Structure 1
Amino acid sequence: MKSIQKINPPSDGWRGFIENIGADSKAGFVVFLLAMPLSLGVAKASDFPPIMGLVTAIIGGILVSFISGSRLTIKGPAAGLIVVIAGAVADFGGGDTGWKLALGAMVVAGLVQILFGVLKLGKLADIFPLSAIHGMLAAIGIIIIVKQIPILLDVNPDLYKGLSMIGMITSIPKFFANFDPRATMIGVYSLAIMLGWPYLKDFKLGKIPAPLMVLIVAIPSELAMDFVHTEPTYALLHVGNLVENVKYNADFSGIFQTGLFVKYVIMFALVGSLESLLTVKAIDMADPFKRKSNNNKDLIAVGIGNTVSSLFGGMPMISEVARSAANVSNGAKTRWANFFHGVFLLIFVLVATPVIEMIPNAALAAMLITVGIKLAHPKEFINTFKIGKEQLAIFLVTIAFTIFEDLLIGITAGIVLKMILHLINGTPISSFFKAPTVVSFDKNEYLVEIDKSAIFSNFPGIKRKLDEIPAGFNVTIDLKNTKLVDHSVMENLHHFQHEYEENGGHVKIIGLEKHRAVSDHQLAARKVVVT
């Protein structure tokens, strides 16, 4: 039975450390092997000193583990924030000045995330339409791919310095015309390893993390070709000394550029929180012990980590999905796996910096392009289309505005289009932010009746009523009085049903007989058929 594991989850705290040190240290070591090159790559792509990617991951592991609200997520820098971080550095003047002014906005954003947790906004991800969130992530993936192409080709940075996103796209032929054959060769077979490695998962060789395999191949290759003496300095990663770099670096004078400062505080706090919460939700579902995270506590922990990291020059961190999934799949039991990953990173950066500086930038670019491909994979477009044409429209509009404007405008455009479509489908304005929801109890059964419309913007109120229902009962959710149930609500109700039934209860969704699905997808939006 699924509930058997739920009865005896691993102990937390010091007892959990002692009981699970073997499993957690092993998982933490595997995650460290993943996190080390990716953290360096994310920092470099964000126009931060590369070592600051490692500083962020170390703080996310060693500090945040003790206060985190989730047990199996790994905290560290993530590719999903590259666009925002690099944009902030550029808009604040670029270079060392832009980095330090961006840090000031990140410190304040960390405090805002702490406030989010204190105000119990841990359900923040439920407020946004899923198609807009996925569109935002796909746009981030496209931007990452485009910006890493010249680095994969080892093009002179002067050819793309200061270019807009449109400029980067139109310059791709020029990048190929000026590629460095030897560095590009390393980049191409690094990309082939990253993309092809999942197909080797059933073989012993495939057990080695793909980023580690890239380093195993790329570093000897560049040594054999003597990059230090035969290639420009931009071909290799330059890290520097940890002790010399970690100091008070944040500059708050950017607050005098009020509009710009506020914009980036909002973007760091909003995008980072959304990505982190979505990861926590996904990892909770993958947890073999079906433990439920405290989203509000986790937001506070991430906010504290971001505040500390940014003060000393590090990047914003989130609960990172790829490393967290690797943590689970490698047998992690408690939060100590995240702690061990931070400890291993700290030891490595203290004793092995010369090894890190042997990494070709083309190899790091290949790793990030792979992340971008995963975020913007064609399957994302196909799956969104299967859910409904209106979802694809929101998805594409969010992508377009994100690429050609910025993330904040992109997700706002997606939300506005979603609301317009809801108005067209007959959603009364009065129910945009409140759906009348009545919960009654009779003979061991809870009945939840939802009126008017159940859409992304009013779901937090519905969710609050659902969360108040004790575990272990029969719950019926009646939607017959709704004019529209959108895709975000259908998916969130599905998640509620899954989680509630994992705890021994039963959930039944009724009242959709007179609703028509907008597509054949089981979680497509439903609207009442007018006869």
Structure 2
Amino acid sequence: MSHPKSKIPADGLAGLKENLSTDAISGFIVFLLALPLSLGIAKASDFPPLMGLITAIIGGLVVSFFAGSRLTIKGPAAGLIVIVAGAVADFGGGETGWHLALGAMVVAGLIQILFGVFKLGKLADFFPLSAIHGMLAAIGLIIIAKQIPVLLDVNPAMTKGKGPIALLGSIPDFIAHLDPKATLIGTVSLVIMLGWPYIKNKYIKMVPAPLMVLIIAIPAELIMDFQHTEPAYALVHIGNLLENIKINVDFSGIAQTGVFIKYVIMFALVGTLESLLTVKAIDLLDPFKRKSNTNKDLIAVGIGNTLAAVLGGLPMISEVARSSSNVNNGAKTRWANFFHGFFILVFVLLASHLIELIPNTALAAMLITVGIKLAHPKEFIHTFKIGKEQLAIFLVTIFLTMYEDLLVGIGAGILLKMIIHAFNGTPLSSFFKAPTVVSFEGDTYLVEIDKAAIFSNFLGIKRKLEEIPSGFNVIIDLKKTKLVDHSVMESLHHFQHDYESNGGTVRIEGLDDHKPTSDHVFAARKKQSV
């Protein structure tokens, strides 16, 4: 339920004073969620675990002051594990690979700042939704593939040099060599993570699932005496924060020009896409219906990424799970993100020895849960319901991302989408520009779109829609189009929701002669020849 405009929380220092208790409590709960996840993401990315916490600290203490969104939490993202680990490996692996990967991350952070300066916050609207969801599902499957051997606590040498498909094929071998004690903790942790959403008791559910995992896993590890009976790779090792705060970036990786450019593009592109998608999602959850400034937020994330990479940290995004938790726990302003970073800093300074009691199998369980959410069967079913052609794009993106890499995967998804559009009669002249005429009469704006309305030309359409002042009647006429694709159908409905929430009305018409590709409300519409 939206709140009256008069009660919108203040920003800045006035917001801190007004909402101190609610934002501090939400920030503390998010800290409990972010601490183990940040460690696990860093370890899975082949970065020192401490560097995940450094990113979360910067995301809270620094980025909060520049952010264009009020309720998102900035920190390391599971969705970037695949790229970060790939960069470390391609730059030589180990500590050398880590230092050289940071160089590409610094440049990507600067590019993100430029994205915001040049107002490219609408970048997410260019990419077809099926390809984006396919990319995220592929990332989920890769996370699962990489974390199963960690969950079973097998010797890391068994996984060396294996891609995600090979890792999945090696599961029987991993099971044959599992460590019973560590696997027991990992399995119990996974059951807790997967089962927690089904618990009905509201008081129990107030405890974040990752915290419950630590409450059980750490005492179990102490009882089993992991420090003396298990190999070193069974436990987290982070070291001292103050000793590790230094300039860790190394730009000599630029000599490997092709590799360097590839990872700069992937860090900048995928990190930006994930951040923008999260900001859009959290705006829909904001009880006060505030609209984030996506360009300002990109600049903030870019600043955070540049600083984090210089110091050795992981890349950060506006992270969806932590941001959703932040909203659900009553956060009102950007100070909740600040407090989440503050509490992580205090914990690392005062209780880092407790972190080194965490079994890696428990962290693996948390990450596998993230992977399952990204690649859940319902994502496949949902995409199929929108249209068979959307499922084809989704599956091609997944397969080529897993077989090759993210750039190839999403590129293949975009190419297939364009081929399908050409097959459906989209004129080549309208692939990147849709003739759009806006006229005004009385209190009504008429938006007439010609030829085709598809993902690759929607930025121009959206720019004209956003120029319409709020509070009027808007008619979007699509009768002259030969095709309206799924991404545009969904984006038009989002525009309708946002515009009407500000007091205007929107009517989408002219689709009587168009046949939908499925029964889904967002299905693509193709005009039938007379």
Q: Please tell me the TM-score bracket, short chain as reference.
A: over 0.9
In structure 2, what is the equivalent of residue 120 of structure 1?
119
- Listed as ranges, the matches of 1:84-99 within 5 Å are 84-99=83-98
Please report how far the alpha carbon of residue 260 of structure 1 lies from its aligned counterpart in structure 2 after TM superposition: 0.5
Question: Counterpart amino acid of 1:525?
Answer: A
In structure 1, what is the equivalent of residue 453 of structure 2?
454
In structure 2, what is the equivalent of residue 292 of structure 1?
291
Distance 1:328 1:201, change over 3 A: farther
Deviation sequence 1:186-230 (CA, Å, 0-9, x none) = 000100000000011443112210000000000000001110011
C-alpha distance in structure 2 between counterparts of 1:202 and 1:487, whole Å: 39
In structure 2, what is the equivalent of residue 368 of structure 1?
367
SS at 1:451 equivalent:
strand
Question: Counterpart amino acid of 1:187?
Answer: G
Question: Counterpart amino acid of 2:210?
Answer: P
Deviation sequence 1:66-95 (CA, Å, 0-9, x none) = 000100000000100000000000000000
C-alpha distance in structure 1 between counterparts of 2:325 and 2:502, whole Å: 25
SS at 2:19 equivalent:
helix
SS at 2:4 equivalent:
helix
SS at 1:146 equivalent:
helix
C-alpha distance in structure 1 between counterparts of 2:75 and 2:211, whole Å: 18
C-alpha distance in structure 2 between counterparts of 1:499 and 1:166, whole Å: 42
C-alpha distance in structure 1 between counterparts of 2:225 and 2:387, whole Å: 54
C-alpha distance in structure 2 between counterparts of 1:288 and 1:350, whole Å: 35
In structure 1, what is the equivalent of residue 387 of structure 2?
388
SS at 2:160 equivalent:
coil
In structure 1, what is the equivalent of residue 262 of structure 2?
263
Moved over 4 A (4+): none
C-alpha distance in structure 2 between counterparts of 1:176 and 1:6, whole Å: 57
C-alpha distance in structure 2 between counterparts of 1:293 and 1:115, whole Å: 18
Please report how far the alpha carbon of residue 44 of structure 1 lies from its aligned counterpart in structure 2 after TM superposition: 0.2
Deviation sequence 1:121-150 (CA, Å, 0-9, x none) = 000100000000000000000000010000
C-alpha distance in structure 1 between counterparts of 2:177 and 2:453, whole Å: 54
1:251 pairs with 2:258: no
Contact conserved, 1:104 with 1:310, CA < 8 A, in 2? Answer: yes
Please report how far the alpha carbon of residue 168 of structure 1 lies from its aligned counterpart in structure 2 after TM superposition: 1.3
Cα root mean square deviation, aligned = 0.8
C-alpha distance in structure 2 between counterparts of 1:501 and 1:84, whole Å: 39
In structure 2, what is the equivalent of residue 336 of structure 1?
335
C-alpha distance in structure 1 between counterparts of 2:325 and 2:439, whole Å: 42
Question: Counterpart amino acid of 1:155?
Answer: V
Contact conserved, 1:187 with 1:365, CA < 8 A, in 2? Answer: yes
Deviation sequence 1:141-193 (CA, Å, 0-9, x none) = 00000100000000011111222223212211110000001100000010000
1:306 pairs with 2:285: no
TM-score with structure 1 setting the length: 0.99
- Range with bigger deviation, 45-54 or 434-443: 434-443
In structure 2, what is the equivalent of residue 149 of structure 1?
148
Deviation sequence 1:243-295 (CA, Å, 0-9, x none) = 11121000000111111000000000000000000000000000000000000
Unaligned runs of 5+ in 1: none
In structure 1, what is the equivalent of residue 66 of structure 2?
67
Contact conserved, 1:201 with 1:207, CA < 8 A, in 2? Answer: no
C-alpha distance in structure 1 between counterparts of 2:491 and 2:505, whole Å: 16
Deviation sequence 1:106-134 (CA, Å, 0-9, x none) = 00000010011111100010000000000
In structure 1, what is the equivalent of residue 440 of structure 2?
441
C-alpha distance in structure 2 between counterparts of 1:8 and 1:206, whole Å: 29
C-alpha distance in structure 2 between counterparts of 1:347 and 1:163, whole Å: 38
Question: Counterpart amino acid of 2:26?
Answer: A
1:482 pairs with 2:498: no
C-alpha distance in structure 1 between counterparts of 2:91 and 2:169, whole Å: 25
Contact conserved, 1:6 with 1:291, CA < 8 A, in 2? Answer: no
Please report how far the alpha carbon of residue 234 of structure 1 lies from its aligned counterpart in structure 2 after TM superposition: 0.7
SS at 2:121 equivalent:
coil
SS at 2:397 equivalent:
helix
C-alpha distance in structure 1 between counterparts of 2:306 and 2:163, whole Å: 29
Please report how far the alpha carbon of residue 373 of structure 1 lies from its aligned counterpart in structure 2 after TM superposition: 0.1
TM-score with structure 2 setting the length: 0.99
In structure 2, what is the equivalent of residue 350 of structure 1?
349
C-alpha distance in structure 2 between counterparts of 1:165 and 1:211, whole Å: 25
In structure 1, what is the equivalent of residue 193 of structure 2?
194
Report how many aligned residue pairs link the two structures. Answer: 530
Deviation sequence 1:324-376 (CA, Å, 0-9, x none) = 00000000000000000000000000011110000000000000000000000
Contact conserved, 1:6 with 1:290, CA < 8 A, in 2? Answer: no
C-alpha distance in structure 2 between counterparts of 1:490 and 1:19, whole Å: 40
C-alpha distance in structure 2 between counterparts of 1:318 and 1:60, whole Å: 9
Unaligned runs of 5+ in 2: none
Question: Counterpart amino acid of 2:64?
Answer: S
Please report how far the alpha carbon of residue 8 of structure 1 lies from its aligned counterpart in structure 2 after TM superposition: 3.0
C-alpha distance in structure 2 between counterparts of 1:374 and 1:73, whole Å: 19
C-alpha distance in structure 2 between counterparts of 1:196 and 1:130, whole Å: 29
In structure 2, what is the equivalent of residue 233 of structure 1?
232
C-alpha distance in structure 2 between counterparts of 1:142 and 1:166, whole Å: 9
In structure 2, what is the equivalent of residue 418 of structure 1?
417
Question: Counterpart amino acid of 1:437?
Answer: T
Percentage of identical aligned residues: 74
